Structure 1
């Protein structure tokens, strides 16, 4: 950065050091392929450069340049793939070295983790929505850029593609109908395909659609706030679909959907439900920001030296949990370690006969304050689920984990205990987005 402050002699010696680095690579990686003469020449020329670097006499710079040129010419003959190196080769090598370091670091020390759902709300936020009911409330270009950088907010503005009656594509489901949702890919970090959902609307023959991540709860985060504010949603007519007559639909369309069971695209017949809502071309149907979930650093080292404790934020992998049919990382609250007796009393968590300690979330759930609504005893249908209406003893080598947002969390109540080998670590810090939650994890 400050090379302009250095004199020519200093720069020359730094250049010489770089050539010696490349010569060392050629020697170590090709010494079994080179002849004795080629190796001895490489060593001799390298030593001449080293001597030149130490020489501080008036004529030393010229001798050092000559030594560097001689070493460079020899490496062009014997360097193979290690010299001369193109900038592309150097960049690729640097990328893979950095990748190896990153993988090793995240495997054994600190792992970044993004919270997709709101099962731990309000301790940690998953993806949330901020709805704009009026056009004047929508963020401008500068505000969008600021919100994107600061909060990971992506703006959605779905407008009517034409003037006429708004129509909702429906799909037959058993003896009834359901809103059609197409599986789709969305971009994560602008590059990686991630599972998503695509909704579409029709006005006459014109179609408009929008995609969002599969873990985002559109109903809870966008549609419910719109209803509470008295704002019409595109799906208002869907709630009164009982006893549909022949005039309930405006027609049929066919859309193509990828079928993961066959690996092929298939055509699906859809029925366009009349909503009775007249819209003008360009009228806003939905306007909201999708805010990214909290992104955490997870400590993977501590549990090698200390045992997990009740109250810890608890990150684990799901592939070894029989009751979960997916391979993901989950974050919940640890409510029981091996041998602990656990149950829910009212809306409070009871561990070993006393109110659970170790996290402020336990106390706030028991009181039902600050957004914590208390623990529920709902039980899954699986034989592996844990019924917390009664006391359960956590088995040896197992852990019990529940979400802080009890009525919006699939956890040990549904799929049972977390085996010891599935444990990953505990969250230590929220590093993004830059909200009041930024800092040490709860």
Structure 2
């Protein structure tokens, strides 16, 4: 409260002291002992004048300190730019450190964890997009964008190429025989939701892709917690796929860069069995509340499924015992999930961390992840 009644010259003197302190921290090693003593004497003199509060004394001491400071530590060219670049570099280093040791951003790539977490969803529509202000608002709040790609000629799509921006936003380039189109959606969504594929022919004026695309949930992964506690049943966790042979053999060229997100349902030593919609752990129905929520078949959940084509747990009678230093992972959307039933266990060394917080979009799922 007293700050508002402090005279302006006192505030200015304190600000000048802060500037001198900062300059000293950067250039102290360039000064001689005599210059350092003189600067410290001038600083002490200004501090004493501030305590006394006499205006002329404060102004005189402030001017003397500033004059000598500029004499021994002259202003460098582009000082403002230097400070801005320095702040940016510090921010980059800090962000890189946080990403490396504490929190890693992650984007849900598919619908295998629905309805807990959503991947990119496309919805075709015959109607044109809404006005621009509405589109901007919907994108900021809900991560929703609109496609309205119309064929400019009678032509065939020859090549489809996907690009990423800032590792979060995905664009797809559609190269036709006469024209090239750009869409704000991944190629998999264009194919599965809008039927766009290489070799398909479109008439002039025909909609190649028209409708709505909702971005996948963007979240933070806690990389630190599992250094102190072991992963537990019911956790949603992220892991690298490089050391999972059946995934590597399927996607050799991309495996080194891929991460998956699933729910951990089995820890080392657990014997698992699925009798749809139930998951059995060591002979009894799973007790964890998050697993029971999936098995409830309520609020969008469908329970766990036996898939006859799977390598593991394909029938209600089949069991699987999780080996040491491994985890068994299933998607909450069990009927549409590629998980441990198909490619086996997750090695302990491949675990990145636990899914922590949905940071965007600001849907009903925004917040802590369970």
TM-score (norm 1): 0.70
Structure 1 residue 293 and structure 2 residue 216: aligned?
yes
Shift of 1:59: 1.8
Unaligned runs of 5+ in 2: 249-254
Alpha carbons of structure 1 residues 437 and 216: separation in structure 2 relative to 1, 3 Å? farther
| Aligned mates of 1:116, 1:306 — CA distance in 2 | 27
Shift of 1:339: 0.9
Task: Quote the residue 2:232 is aligned against.
Answer: 309
Q: Which of these residues, 117, 121, 136, is aligned with residue 145 of structure 1?
A: 136
Alpha carbons of structure 1 residues 375 and 5: separation in structure 2 relative to 1, 3 Å? farther
Shift of 1:420: 1.9
Shift of 1:336: 0.7
Alpha carbons of structure 1 residues 61 and 368: separation in structure 2 relative to 1, 3 Å? closer
Instruction: Check conservation: 1:151, 1:434, Cα contact below 8 A.
Output: yes
1:47 counterpart SS class: helix
1:344 counterpart SS class: strand
Instruction: Check conservation: 1:311, 1:334, Cα contact below 8 A.
Output: yes
User: Which stretch of structure 1 is more off in the superposition, 147-156 or 356-365?
Assistant: 356-365
| Aligned mates of 2:215, 2:169 — CA distance in 1 | 14
Q: Which of these residues, 256, 263, 266, is aligned with residue 326 of structure 1?
A: 256
Task: Quote the residue 2:194 is aligned against.
Answer: 222
Query: 1:278-304 CA deviation, whole Å, 9 max, x = no partner?
Result: 54x4x5442122211112233334323
Q: Which of these residues, 311, 315, 322, is aligned with residue 394 of structure 1?
A: 322
The structure in which a higher percent of residues are strand is 1
2:126 counterpart SS class: coil
RMSD in angstroms over aligned alpha carbons?
3.3
1:326 counterpart SS class: helix
Task: Quote the residue 2:161 is aligned against.
Answer: 183
| Aligned mates of 1:139, 1:116 — CA distance in 2 | 26
Instruction: Check conservation: 1:316, 1:331, Cα contact below 8 A.
Output: yes
| Aligned mates of 1:291, 1:299 — CA distance in 2 | 25
1:427 counterpart SS class: strand
Instruction: Check conservation: 1:131, 1:222, Cα contact below 8 A.
Output: yes
How many residues of Structure 1 are paired with residues of Structure 2 in the alignment? 359
Alpha carbons of structure 1 residues 359 and 423: separation in structure 2 relative to 1, 3 Å? farther
Structure 1 residue 168 and structure 2 residue 156: aligned?
yes
Structure 1 residue 127 and structure 2 residue 120: aligned?
yes
| Aligned mates of 1:73, 1:429 — CA distance in 2 | 49
Task: Quote the residue 1:417 is aligned against.
Answer: 345
The structure in which a higher percent of residues are helix is 2
| Aligned mates of 1:75, 1:50 — CA distance in 2 | 20
1:59 counterpart SS class: helix
Structure 1 residue 156 and structure 2 residue 147: aligned?
yes
| Aligned mates of 1:102, 1:45 — CA distance in 2 | 39
Q: Which residues in structure 2 correspond to 1:5-84 (within 5 Å)?
A: 7-27=7-27, 30-31=28-29, 33-77=30-74
Task: Quote the residue 2:252 is aligned against.
Answer: none
